[in-house]
Every structure is written in C-alpha cells, then in structure tokens.
Chain A
Amino acid sequence: MAAWTDISNIKQKIADSSAEEVTAAYIETIGKSKINGFTTVWDEAINTAREIDSNGHDGPLAGIPIAIKENISTKGLSTTCSSKILQGYVPPYDAHVIERLKEAGAVILGKTNMDEFAMGTSTESSCYGPTFNPWDMSRVPGGSSGGSAAVVAAGEAPISLGSDTGGSVRCPAAYCGVVGLKPTYGCISRYGLISYANSLEQIGPLATTVSDIATIMDVVAGYDSRDSTSINRENNYSDALKDDVKGMKIGVPEEYFGEGIDKDVEKSVWDAISKFEDMGATYEKVSMPHTKYALASYYIIAMSEASSNLARFDGTRYGLRAEGENWHVMASKTRAEGFGTEVKRRILLGTYALSAGYHDKYYLKALKVRTLVKQDFDKALANVDVLMAPTMPASAFKIGEKIEDPLSLYLADVNTVPINLAGVPSISVPCGFVDDMPVGLQIIGKQFDENTIIKAAYCFEQNTNHHTRRPREVA
C-alpha cells in the first residue's frame, strides 16, 4: 500500500523491491481514491518504472513517482488545464520541468486536477468536478493546484508539481497540510507551462517534507533559453538543509494579520514565530503599507494578461471547435461553450481593463501600484532575512461556500498575491491545526534567496511535529 511518505523512504522501498512495485502500489491507491485529485493516470507509468529498474536506478529521482498539474505540458499525456476547451489535447512536447524530471529518473504518475486555467482558490471550477480535501471531504483543498496538494496529502503521490500565479501552490499546501514552494520569478523555466498570467507565475513543488522540496528544486530549477524570463543562476537547494536559524532576523508584516484573519490561525502563526525565537532567531514587526492594494493590483494584472494569453484557445489548432459561418463566429461560439464562467469573467474583465479609455485607469494604475508593493518588499527585506505570515487568513472553507461570489474568493488570496507581484520566493509549511484542519506558515525571502527560506522551513520542521500528523482518510 502506498501512503504518506517521502523520497528517502521510497528510495528504500525501491531498493527493497522495485520501482515497478512502488509505482503499481501508487496506481492501486489512486484507483481507490475518493478525493478526485487525479484527472488522468498515465498508462506509461508502469513501463517507465520497469525501464528504470532495468537501467539500475540512475538519477536523483530514480523511480520516484510524481504527480503533475493539468497545465504543465507532458508529451503524449493529456494536458487540459481542467477546461472543456482543451478536451482531447495531447501535447506534442514536454515542458522543461518534465524533461528535467525524466532525466532524473522520476516516474510521471499522471495529471492532477486544478481550477480551470489556474483561475481560482478552491479547485471547484474544474471541468472534472471539485477535488475534496483529504482532511475533511466537505471542504476544498485550496487552489488552484488543489489536485497536486490533495494527492500528496492523501498519500496518492509522494511529490507533485503545481504552479503559483497568486498563491496556487502555497494555498493548497496550507489547506492540505503539506509543504509548497513558490520560487523566485525566473527560477524555473515556464517553457511548456500553459500561461495564465505570465509576469506572475512560477511552477512550484509540493511534498510532505522540506527536504523533498529541495531535492525537487535541484532537479527542476535552472536556466532554459526557451523561456526568455529564465535567469541563469546556479544554486544547490539541498545545501540549505541545515538545522540552524541562530541569529536569523525575521520580519513580521502587521498588514498580513489584518481584518478577516481567523484568531486561531493568527495564534498558530505567532506560536511558530515564538518557536523560531526559541531556536535562536529574533523577530521584529515591520510595516508594508501598500499590502491592502496588492489584491486589486494583482487581479487587474492577472486578468489583463489572461485576456491576452487565453486568446490562443480559438478552436483553430486544437481542442474544442464549434460550428460558425466564419472564423469570428466559430471562435466566439467555441470560447462561449469551452470556457467556464470564472474564466469568461476574467477574460472579460481583462479585456475591459485593457480597452481604449480604461487602460490607464485600470491596467497602468495596477502596474504602478505593483511598483509600490515591490518597494515594500525591498524595504522590509533590506533589514531582515525573511518575512513570516499566515499563508491563508483562515483554514479550508466548505465546498460551495464561496464559488458563487467571486469577490469573496479573491479576498482569500490577500496574503499570497503580494509575493507574486514582487517576484520573491515563498514557502508554506504546516504550523498547526484549527478544528482539525491544517494551517500554513508562509516564509518569504529575498529574490533568489530560496536557500534561506528553505533553511528556516527545514529547521522549523525538524523541531516541531505538525508535519507528522496525517489526515484520517489515509491513516
């Protein structure tokens, strides 16, 4: 039986049996799943594992099964962004991260559910139906990488990849009680990631331990000329796995504990900060005055970029095609039929924000506010090593609770979107439970200083036991 575990345990299992047996056990577990986290299980997974067995387990992830979000291109394996408009689309090429994973010997188990085109915080807007939170099946797993987080929490995959445009790795990591990293913008190539808001998003790993996050980063991060925003910078992430935060300076931005934060979530995060003090770190309160404007700035930018990026889904080259007497009518009907309500809303708002007469009022204004938000980060991080805050203002909400009111859903992203506007790295680690639902601590770092936040997260994990608690569904 597959279960909640980490890479080093699986390596031991592979040594004791085989990659094929390990992969088969995961596929059996997925077959019994009740959470709807996987959309497709790859029929080549067993063959891949068998090949790795015969090749002598070469590579840092040899035989390790991994789940991949529906918006990351996998050659020969359906990639639909959980949208009706991309039904039947099979990419003819691999994303950069998939090439890297295959070279490292990883076994792609299959694809995971997400909010349609990554536009959401709950994984309810998928054309495959919602994914359920393994800790409480009546609650959302978070989003948009809800499938990628839920399958790791449920023991259906040891590790996964998601993508984070405004919190889409960190939110589900927090809601599902796993670890999730949003790397610095430019750290991981976006080649093969189907774009939603390309100036904001990064692919990011999810796992049960911080150590596994570093291992995955060592494989998938790095320069790729096919992404013109890829930054050429060498780093070894596993070097950061040191149990020592003595002298580390923590900034606690008071604006991240504002209106709407759950009192018990706030307490869990402060308890975590006290733990860091016990371990030899110091903290000071800092102010990031433009935080309250980040959400509006983020949504205007994300929707504007989305309206342009999603123009390619027009029925011409792949996916759904409706009938129409000319191309414009065909495209308009294809998109009306193929996109869900939230995707349409965001494209409409983005088109509106970029249209003549509104461009300066919305889009340009949002870009200027983005500058101010980024300056807040530059100033705060000039005096401290990391910032700490709740990942989400509350624990996972009920399925159906917010989906009819888009603004209430957007407000849940208040603590995650500023990080994407600034392009800095941030990791969410389990830091407690409220009414038996996990709470995430967000540790934010300087650009390309992943290693400091990984070290802080690792040290916290080594000295606490929040990450050892399992959801009942899979215990």
Chain B
Amino acid sequence: MITKEEVEHVGWLARIEIDEKESDAYAQKLNSVLDYFEQLDEVDTENVPPTYHVADIMNVFREDVVKPSMPQEDVLSNTENKQEGNFKAPRIM
C-alpha cells in the first residue's frame, strides 16, 4: 500500500510536484496497479537470473576518435534560456 504521503515523497524524488488534493487520487490508482503487481510474488524465481536486455551483445566499444559534432548553436536552438554558449538554469542550491 502506497500512502498519500509516500506519493508526495515519490513525486519529489521524481521532481513532479503533487499537491495535496491530487495525492489521494494518485494513491488510489497507484495502489490498484501495485495490487496487480503483487501476483509476481507467487512466481518462484529462486536461482533465476535477471534479464536486463535481450540483445546478444556486451560492452559495445568504439575507437576513441574525434569526429565532427553538432554545432553549439543547434544544440541551443530550442531554448531562450542561454548565455555565452551555455544553457541557463535557476540556481541549484
């Protein structure tokens, strides 16, 4: 069971502001999904390894060669919030 308070906490972890009025509704719908997830408990997974992906590859490396990259102005083309070639954001601390 996820509580209203936990919804607000997870919202903070995920950087999604959830106000008190919404958190009840979220808790209710999230709990119905979490209840459904509970059925995995009945599966015996002792000694079963996890599958993170199914591609038959590991450790894909490339040569460390300098190649042309996207021009800085293109990278910054989708924001008004820029300064001297950087993205401009509010202070972190």
Contact = CB atoms under 8 A, between A and B. Distances in A.
Identify whether the interface residues of B are mostly helix, strand, loop, or mixed: loop
B54 A348 contact: no
B90 A185 contact: no
A317 B51 contact: no
A324 interface: yes
A355 B9 CA distance: 11
A186 B32 contact: no
A296 B45 CA distance: 15
Contacts of B56: 231, 447
Contacts of B90: 324-327, 329-330
Contact of A370 (B30, B51, B70): B51
Interface of B: 2, 6-7, 10-18, 26, 29-30, 32-34, 36-37, 39-41, 43, 45, 48-57, 60, 62, 70, 74-75, 77-79, 81, 87, 89-93
Contacts of B30: 345, 348-349, 352
A328 B15 contact: yes
A327 to B, nearest CB: 5
Contacts of B49: 368, 371
A422 interface: yes
B40 A316 contact: no
A296 B37 contact: yes
A90 B77 contact: yes
Nearest to B18: A336
Interface of A: 88-90, 92-93, 185-186, 199, 225, 228-229, 231, 290, 292-293, 296-297, 299-300, 307, 311, 314, 316-319, 321, 324-333, 335-336, 339, 344-345, 347-349, 351-352, 355, 362, 364-372, 374, 406-407, 410, 421-423, 447
B92 to A, nearest CB: 5
Contacts of A351: 10, 13-14
A367 B37 contact: no
A422 B60 CA distance: 21
A297 B54 CA distance: 15
A350 to B, nearest CB: 8
The 8 closest A-B pairs by CB, nearest first: A423-B54, A367-B50, A318-B78, A368-B45, A92-B74, A336-B17, A332-B17, A351-B14
Contacts of A93: 70, 74
Contacts of B91: 326-327
B55 A229 contact: yes
Nearest to A346: B33
Contacts of B45: 365, 368-369, 372
Contacts of A367: 50-52
B16 A423 contact: no
A330 B93 CA distance: 12
A293 B39 contact: yes
Contacts of A228: 57, 60
Contacts of B33: 299, 345, 349, 406-407, 410
Contact of A92 (B54, B57, B77): B77
30 contacts: A90-B77, A93-B74, A229-B55, A231-B57, A290-B43, A297-B40, A299-B37, A311-B15, A314-B15, A316-B81, A316-B87, A318-B78, A327-B91, A328-B15, A335-B15, A336-B18, A349-B30, A351-B14, A352-B2, A364-B50, A367-B51, A368-B43, A368-B50, A369-B40, A369-B43, A410-B33, A421-B54, A423-B54, A423-B55, A447-B54
Nearest to B37: A296
Given A92-B70, A326-B93, A349-B30, A225 B37 contact: no
A316 B82 CA distance: 10
Given A332-B15, A335-B16, A365-B45, A231 B50 contact: no
B89 A330 contact: yes
Nearest to B54: A423
Contacts of A349: 30, 33-34
Given A296-B40, A324-B90, A185 B55 contact: yes
Contacts of B7: 348
B36 A332 contact: no
Contacts of A339: 16
B81 to A, nearest CB: 7
A290 B78 CA distance: 45
Contact of A374 (B6, B11, B54, B87): B54
Nearest to A318: B78
A347 B18 contact: no
Given A311-B15, A336-B16, A352-B6, 9 more contacts: A225-B62, A317-B79, A332-B17, A352-B10, A368-B48, A371-B51, A372-B43, A406-B29, A407-B36
Nearest to A366: B40
